[in-house]
Amino acid sequence: MKDKTIKDILTENERRNAIVYAKFNPITGEGSVGKRVKCTISDFPIHTQWLPERIMKVPLVRQLIEAGSISKFLTDYMDVEDNQDDRLKVIEQFVRIRSREDFPFWAATFVYIKAKGGGEDVLFRLTRPQRRFVDRLEKLRIAGKPIRIILLKARQWGGSTTSQLYMAWLQLLHKTGLNSLIIAHQGAGSDEIKDMFDRMIKSYPVEMLYKIDEAYNENEPKIVGVGKSGSISRIPQRNCKIKIGTAERPDSCRGGDYNLVHLSEVGIWKATEGKKPEDIVRSACSGILLKPYTMIVYESTANGTGNFFHREYTAAKEGKSQFEAMFVSWFDIEQYTLAFDSDKEKWDFAEWLYQNRDNENTDSEREECGKYLWSLWEKGATLEAIHWYIAERRKYNDHGQMAAEFPSDDVEAFVHSGARVFDKYKVDAMRKTCKKPKYVGEVCADADEGKNALQNLRFVKDKQGLLHIWELPETDEKEVVTNRYLTIVDVGGRSNKADFSVVLVLDRLFMIDGGKPVVVAQWYGHCDIDQLAWKAAQIAAFYDNSLLVIESNTLETHDKERQVDGDQSQFILNQIKEIYPNLYARGQSEEAVREGLPTKYGFHTNVSTKPMIISTLVKVIRENLYTERDERCLDEYLCYEKKPNGAFGAITGKHDDLLMTRAIGLHICFFEMEIPKIVLRIGRFVVKKKKAVSAATI
């Protein structure tokens, strides 16, 4: 049985290698991009060609294929004798037509680039990932759609080069007057891009910039500078400009009359005062219309979660933006493989890989466990690619460093320098339960604070409201579910730049039958601390007078400059206690009880309790023990790290407000509250279906 399994792995490996190393000849067109038609022209310099399906509609091409030779085409279709001059004209016209509709052919015929490793310049022949990228670009162009792609990539496969030369192809062959803007991360990057364009245009045939039989001067300049900055060049024959700027100098990135924009390494653009990445992007792209023959490409390796590039890629992946997301993994790149010395070595490797597919242990920080390596096989990597990965991994003492350079999927790509607290795959699996709220509005009462703040509670729909409700509270005239709802508060600040305040409601009903607590409501916004306390009390009361847990250390340390009369946190909490008695109070020591010290309300997050609640949250996420509804919270999980000093927190510039309500609430939910019970309000026990408090009932 084991031998059969290994044989199956080796057979599948051969199939994968056949795809990776499938024949590709951009000159003949065999194995090239898009749908192709095999054609033979007996006396053409390339006898057999695989031509793009769409150019078969061009009369010259169709008639030439039907004739089967240039000679027959001239005599039968052009009604002239076969002669050398006309034969060359037909060949030239055919090459121009094919160049216009076959980017890989044009690139491999006319475009010279710098050779890797030095030496003479070489013609640009697309690699496998480059062909995938061009295929995406061409599908949009041919469909008459604007090109909008966010490209997340591994290192060193030429994504930037491909994008920039594709833009040049549109400028040189498709339309006159198409202007392009390329923004690099820094000056060195922009210099390399300019060098690439200079190199390409220097060797490009000047006659290809003109129509056939149009007069030209062999020595005329093909590219000229515009202005004194050196950042703008013009190709006079095509009436188009190429501008190259850097994210370090935002003034060089202002968009003008541009149709084609490539933004390189957006993920590592630094956000500083006055030049956030999104500001630079907006400045560069705002003038581009959403119409055919316009192109915007954001391209980058990943650089952590929660930043501009991560947000834009996620939105594109989820179909929420006008962009398409594209990811290129390291094992899509044919150079990242390591051959085996013998068939026996390959067999032994496959056997070891299979036997360790569930092994989570490693002997060193410079290697991955068998379970992870098996996951690479399941994602489509070849044995030779995994063999290379093991060797390359020894360069790095941390998985995150390797994943940043050579990501295996688009979840792994977005890692950050700190030690990730939550398993990214477990977090990603929780997204399927996230959804838009059923209701948006606010809970209102006869007053905003004081004795009447809990009188005549009702939910009022308001599209501008900050309370999102996935399930309204359920009530029954004869029954009550004890310990059903739990309300947790994380206190933020007043200003828009401060941390958000969060009021979270969990429904614990399903725990009666061994089920999971569920997020049913959430208020998320900014307001004063006293207003937040009353708002939280109203929401807790609305949800069947649920236990109200307020994270008190924020109250006890918040906004020192406003505490002119001393610490007001206990005063505020005691005010609520008079009106709302179901407040969470932390346990007191025996000494405090003996001395009659006042009860301290709220959950105090400190150096001893924070690791405890985070450990609970790690377990809850790992074992999927609760149902999340808000994707923003999952994004916070992915931005949460253990700092070098051992403290927990969000990465710089990110928030953990939603996360903390879950950490506190789920710890109390599982360790401090009893399982909910159904008990009678009045009379004898009646089994009755719960009914939701609808907006109409309210």
Q: Specify the higher pLDDT residue, 384 or 229.
A: 384
Same domain, residue pair 519 and 581? yes
Mean pLDDT within 410-421: 71
**Rounded (10°) angle between helices 159-169 and 187-202:** 50
Q: Is 632 a member of any domain? A: no
**Domain end residue (candidates: 105, 125, 145):** 125
* Residue 564 pLDDT exceeds 50: no
pLDDT of residue 595: 66
* Residue 178 pLDDT exceeds 70: yes
Q: Specify the higher pLDDT residue, 641 or 486.
A: 486
pLDDT of residue 85: 92
**Domain end residue (candidates: 292, 317, 333):** 333
d(CA 422, CA 208): 56
Same domain, residue pair 582 and 510? yes
pLDDT of residue 468: 98
Q: Is 213 a member of any domain? A: no
Same domain, residue pair 154 and 290? yes
Same domain, residue pair 185 and 287? yes
Average the pLDDT over each of 1-5, 227-231, 278-282 and give the range with the smallest value: 227-231
Q: Is 560 a member of any domain? A: yes
* Location of structure tokens 């309204």: 472
The angle subtended at Cα 310 by Cα 499 and Cα 436, nearest 5°, is 65
How does residue 228 score in pLDDT terms, banded at 50, 70 and 90? confident
CA proximity to 433, closest of 512, 515, 519, 507: 519
pLDDT of residue 689: 36
Task: Supply the CATH number for residue 603's domain.
Answer: 3.30.420
pLDDT of residue 646: 79
Sequence-separated contacts (24+) of 603-612 with Cβ below 8 Å:
603/549, 603/550, 603/551, 603/552, 603/664, 603/668, 604/551, 604/552, 604/553, 604/556, 605/551, 605/553, 605/554, 605/660, 605/664, 606/553, 610/648, 611/648, 612/667
pLDDT of residue 475: 82
Mean pLDDT within 671-682: 90
Same domain, residue pair 252 and 324? yes
Same domain, residue pair 8 and 154? no
pLDDT of residue 170: 97
* Residue 553 pLDDT exceeds 90: no
Mean pLDDT within 610-619: 94
Q: Specify the higher pLDDT residue, 683 or 242.
A: 242
Q: What is the pLDDT of residues 155-167, one digit of tens each?
A: 778 888 999 999 9
Q: Is 432 a member of any domain? A: no
* Residue 443 pLDDT exceeds 60: yes
Same domain, residue pair 493 and 524? yes
For CA atoms 632, 634, 635, 641, give the dihedral sign. Answer: positive
Average the pLDDT over each of 225-239, 404-418, 459-473 and give the range with the smallest value: 404-418
Average the pLDDT over each of 150-154, 463-467, 501-505 and give the range with the smallest value: 150-154
Q: What is the pLDDT of residues 634-667, one digit of tens each?
A: 989 988 888 777 788 887 667 899 999 999 999 9
pLDDT of residue 155: 76
Same domain, residue pair 385 and 529? no
Q: Specify the higher pLDDT residue, 115 or 495.
A: 115
pLDDT of residue 684: 37
**Rounded (10°) angle between helices 657-671 and 631-638:** 100
Q: What is the pLDDT of residues 95-123, one digit of tens each?
A: 999 999 999 999 999 999 988 777 889 99
Q: Is 185 a member of any domain? A: yes
Same domain, residue pair 365 and 261? no
Q: What is the pLDDT of residues 387-402, one digit of tens each?
A: 999 999 999 887 777 8
**Rounded (10°) angle between helices 343-355 and 383-393:** 80
d(CA 662, CA 669): 10
Same domain, residue pair 302 and 400? no
C-beta of residue 312 within 8 angstroms of C-beta of residue 322: no
* Residue 555 pLDDT exceeds 70: no
* Residue 520 pLDDT exceeds 80: yes
Task: Supply the CATH number for residue 246's domain.
Answer: 3.40.50.300
DSSP structural state of residue 113:
E
Q: Is 655 a member of any domain? A: no
Q: What is the pLDDT of residues 301-346, one digit of tens each?
A: 887 777 888 889 988 998 989 999 999 999 999 889 999 999 999 9
CA proximity to 421, closest of 640, 646, 661, 652: 640
Q: Is 88 a member of any domain? A: yes
Average the pLDDT over each of 103-112, 161-170, 196-205, 536-545 and give the range with the smallest value: 196-205
User: Reduced to 3 states, what is the DSSP secondary structure of residue 25?
Assistant: strand
**Domain end residue (candidates: 279, 312, 333):** 333
Mark residue 10 as left, alpha or beta (left: phi above 0; alpha: psi -120 to 50; beta: remaining): alpha
How does residue 574 score in pLDDT terms, banded at 50, 70 and 90? confident
Q: Specify the higher pLDDT residue, 597 or 369.
A: 369
Q: Partners of 112 in the beta sheet?
A: 123
Q: Is 661 a member of any domain? A: no
Q: Percentage of the chain with pLDDT > 90?
A: 59
pLDDT of residue 191: 78
Query: In what helix (H) or strand (E) does residue 14 lie, and over which residues does it extend?
Result: helix 2-20
Q: Specify the higher pLDDT residue, 234 or 594.
A: 234
Rg value, the chain, Cα = 33
Same domain, residue pair 444 and 548? yes
State how many domains the chain has: 4
pLDDT of residue 593: 54
**Average pLDDT of the chain to the nearest whole number:** 87
Same domain, residue pair 5 and 55? no
How does residue 698 score in pLDDT terms, banded at 50, 70 and 90? very low
Average the pLDDT over each of 156-165, 401-410, 540-549 and give the range with the smallest value: 401-410
Q: Which domain holds residue 17?
A: 1-21+336-415
The residue type of 118 is G
pLDDT of residue 591: 66
DSSP structural state of residue 362:
-
d(CA 552, CA 569): 8
pLDDT of residue 255: 55
